[in-house]
A and B are shown apart, each in its own frame.
Chain A
Amino acid sequence: MQRKSPLWLTVVSMGFLGLWLMLASIPFLWTLWGSFKVEGDFFSKQDWQNAIYGIRTMVETGGLFTGGGYEGAWVKEEFWKATLNTGIMTLSVVAISLTLGTLGGYALSRSGFRYAFWILIIALVFRAMPHITLVSGYLLPFFELNLWGHLTTTIIVMVAINQPFTLWMLHSFFLNIPKDLDESAMVDGCTRFQAFRYVIIPVMWPGVITTGLFSFLLAYNDFALTGLLLTEENQTMVPKIAGFLGTTQEQGNVMYAVAAVVSATAPLFVLVLFFQRQIVSGLTAGAVKG
């Protein structure tokens, strides 16, 4: 049905899209490529093309590619510890937030009372607050109670900070599941919990997976909390990388940081690769329902 569009429009549109795709992808490809070079190439004083051809890398290491940055980051700077911490933290945060969030989101979507609306509005205000403003509330009590620095504390805090968002998202997913479904189960003699357990849980997984992805991203990408709430040995990847910047720039090991950055970005790429559809649907879930 669509009338054929004029040629100039197609050209302009494709040209613009091509430019955007380059802007979106080249920084990553560039850094990935450069992470296998030596610093003299990636930060070349003479010519930026050195980063592509690896002139200094040839001179210094004898090969076109070097794993020096990765070795330095993972072995010497013990980046594997940070990776392990990130793994523990993100998985726990996702699991706990989803458990609390599904229960709460379900209740909010099925309650007809006014206060459910107000809880959602308060959650929206909580969602809007910069996380770091809360950290200034945590630090002093945590120091006093000796809770500061542990991974467990950070996990619990992050679950709580995640709740407003998780509640909103799951609330809108549960609104999409027809009320008749659980209500007819209750007419048949189920209690609310049984209806939730046997009727809702089997059909809620698409929404839960999508919400889980965003909780994962929030925990994985956080710097405000992890940067201030963890001791050095409990650090996750992001504060560890921020820490590299201070130390490595003086020692001339910027390539450690570059390698660590690439290592930390790789899981996110895999995530988008497999869950692109869920991410897109999750971003729009809130929007379409206003």
Chain B
Amino acid sequence: MPHRTFISFIWPSALAMILFIALPIVSVGLQSFYVQHEQVIEVVENCTPFGCTESTAVNTEATAELRAAEPLGRFNGAGTYTNRNHLAFNEIAEAWNTADSMSAFFKQVLNLPFYKALAFTLAYTFVVTPLVIILGFMIALAVNRVPGVLKGPTIFFSLLPMIVTPLIGSLILFWMIDAKGVIGGTLQIIFEDPNLSLKASPTLTWITIMVYGVWHHAPFAFVVFYAGLQTVPQDTLESAMIDGANRWERTRHVVIPHLTPLVTFIALIQLMDNFRVFEPIISFNASASATSLSWIIYNDLRGSDGAMLFGSAAATSMLTIIGVCILLAPVILRTWRANRRAA
């Protein structure tokens, strides 16, 4: 296809992506170097018959004017990146110097907002992804043995957790594990502890969110594996049987190697999706014990701590984008090498 025709086909799509994905990234980058103007403080002289006193006051008018004139705020360099809410270099150095053991040091670091969120995001990504692959594979094997008529309904119900809106799916589970809900109530009876609450302890909250993650994503892995199982080469299976391979050996040496490329695909999609974990934290109301990178950006933008913190949100966004690139780097490098070899 000549370049000119190619461009005439792709320009609407490319324009949309440049305007609303590429430029926003530039805008995020730019914003991350600015912070909101400080309030304009004036020294006001109050003169009374007994003499003059000087006091300082916020000039709201001037503040609003300044903010309207330069909405980006004032230049802050890399200040936002290094402050306490982001990479927190000073705090880490201090923790390193004062902490008497490694565990005390990590404990202090993980109390910093950015590292706390990063820790949960990474833990979630790397716990949920393998579990999703394993559970999805097991479901696919089981569904593959179901007689024909029942396959449709089985697949229908298996798809539900994935198709449901993440915010809604996690809400549904949240209501069930509520101390007054069915699962929460039952757990209290089982453990004979009327004060048991899955929401109270950070560890339990982490586990609950991860369980939700596996529940939500497992159907995706299941469907991909299930489709892969349909294309397992029957000849190879039969010759393996003739050679005396038992069921386990056939699964291990024929089925699993056939599905390995699918594992890479699922892992890639899952890493991307799990890294942006966000909605369950809102639904589970879990921000006290578990925050994610996406959640802290949301929190800054929503302005829940007063004003909307564009600079702070932008800095976290840039760090998140860098994180995504690191996560994807191995995949892209491999594709690039394969492409270069093919060319």
A-chain residues with CB within 8 Å of residue B168 when the two chains form the complex? 238, 241, 261, 264-265
| B17:A163 contact, CB within 8 angstroms | yes
Does any Cβ of B come within 8 Å of A74's Cβ? no
Q: Nearest Cβ distance between residue A29 and chain B, in whole angstroms? A: 10
- A38-73: contact bitstring with B at CB < 8 Å (1 yes, 0 no)? 000011110110010000000000000000000000
Within 8 Å by CB of A287, from B9, B19, B265, lies B265
Q: Nearest Cβ distance between residue B209 and chain A, in whole angstroms? A: 15
CA distance A133 to B155 in the complex (A): 34
CA distance A5 to B283 in the complex (A): 44
Q: Which of B6, B71, B154 has the most CB of A within 10 A?
A: B6
Residue of A nearest to B31 (CB): A140
| B301:A3 contact, CB within 8 angstroms | no
Quick check: which of B37-45, B55-63, B99-107, B171-179 contacts chain A, the rest being far away?
B171-179
Q: Nearest Cβ distance between residue A169 and chain B, in whole angstroms? A: 12
CA distance A23 to B158 in the complex (A): 9
A interface, how many residues as a size bin? 35 or more
Q: Nearest Cβ distance between residue A95 and chain B, in whole angstroms? A: 13
B-chain residues with CB within 8 Å of residue A241 when the two chains form the complex? 167-168, 171
Does any Cβ of A come within 8 Å of B27's Cβ? yes
CA distance A47 to B143 in the complex (A): 35
| B172:A261 contact, CB within 8 angstroms | yes
CA distance A203 to B241 in the complex (A): 42
| A17:B276 contact, CB within 8 angstroms | no
Residue of A nearest to B180 (CB): A43
Does any Cβ of A come within 8 Å of B181's Cβ? yes
Does any Cβ of A come within 8 Å of B203's Cβ? no
Residue of A nearest to B12 (CB): A100
Quick check: which of B75-83, B111-119, B309-317 contacts chain A, the rest being far away?
B309-317
Within 8 Å by CB of A140, from B1, B71, B238, B265, lies B71
A-chain residues with CB within 8 Å of residue B126 when the two chains form the complex? none
Residue of B nearest to A285 (CB): B227
| B165:A134 contact, CB within 8 angstroms | no
A-chain residues with CB within 8 Å of residue B282 when the two chains form the complex? 223, 242
Main secondary structure of the interface of A (DSSP, over half): helix
Main secondary structure of the interface of B (DSSP, over half): helix
Within 8 Å by CB of B186, from A48, A130, A238, A245, lies A48
Residue of A nearest to B336 (CB): A121
Residue of A nearest to B214 (CB): A23
Does any Cβ of B come within 8 Å of A177's Cβ? no
A-chain residues with CB within 8 Å of residue B308 when the two chains form the complex? 139
CA distance A286 to B261 in the complex (A): 12
| B175:A1 contact, CB within 8 angstroms | no
Q: Nearest Cβ distance between residue B150 and chain A, in whole angstroms? A: 10
> Taking A43-B180, A111-B1, A140-B310 as contacts, is the C-beta distance between A228 and B301 under 8 angstroms?
yes
Does any Cβ of A come within 8 Å of B146's Cβ? yes
Q: Nearest Cβ distance between residue B58 and chain A, in whole angstroms? A: 23
| A136:B141 contact, CB within 8 angstroms | no
CA distance A214 to B266 in the complex (A): 17
| B25:A125 contact, CB within 8 angstroms | no
Interfacial residues of chain B within 254-287, with CB under 8 A of chain A in the complex? 261-262, 265-266, 272, 275-276, 278-279, 282-283, 285
For the complex with contacts A113-B1, A134-B317, A281-B227, 6 further pairs of A-B residues with Cβ separation under 8 Å are A28-B164, A128-B275, A135-B297, A220-B165, A241-B168, A286-B265
Q: Which residues of A contact B (CB under 8 A)?
A: 1, 3, 5, 9-10, 13-14, 16-17, 20-21, 23-25, 27-28, 30-31, 42-45, 47-48, 51, 99-101, 103-104, 106-108, 110-114, 116-117, 119, 121, 123-141, 143-144, 156-157, 159-161, 163-164, 167, 192, 196, 217, 220-221, 223-224, 227-228, 238, 241-242, 245, 257-258, 261, 264-265, 268-269, 271-273, 276, 279-281, 283-284, 286-288, 290
Q: Which residues of B contact A (CB under 8 A)?
A: 1, 3, 5-6, 9-10, 12-14, 16-17, 19-21, 23-28, 31, 71-72, 138-139, 141-143, 145-146, 152, 154-161, 163-169, 171-173, 175-176, 178, 180-182, 185-186, 215, 219-220, 223-224, 226-228, 231, 234, 238, 241, 247, 261-262, 265-266, 272, 275-276, 278-279, 282-283, 285, 293-294, 297-298, 300-302, 308, 310, 313-314, 316-318, 320-321, 324-325, 327-328, 332, 335-336, 339, 343
11 residue pairs A–B, Cβ–Cβ below 8 Å: A13-B142, A23-B161, A108-B10, A130-B294, A137-B25, A137-B31, A138-B20, A139-B310, A245-B285, A269-B160, A287-B227
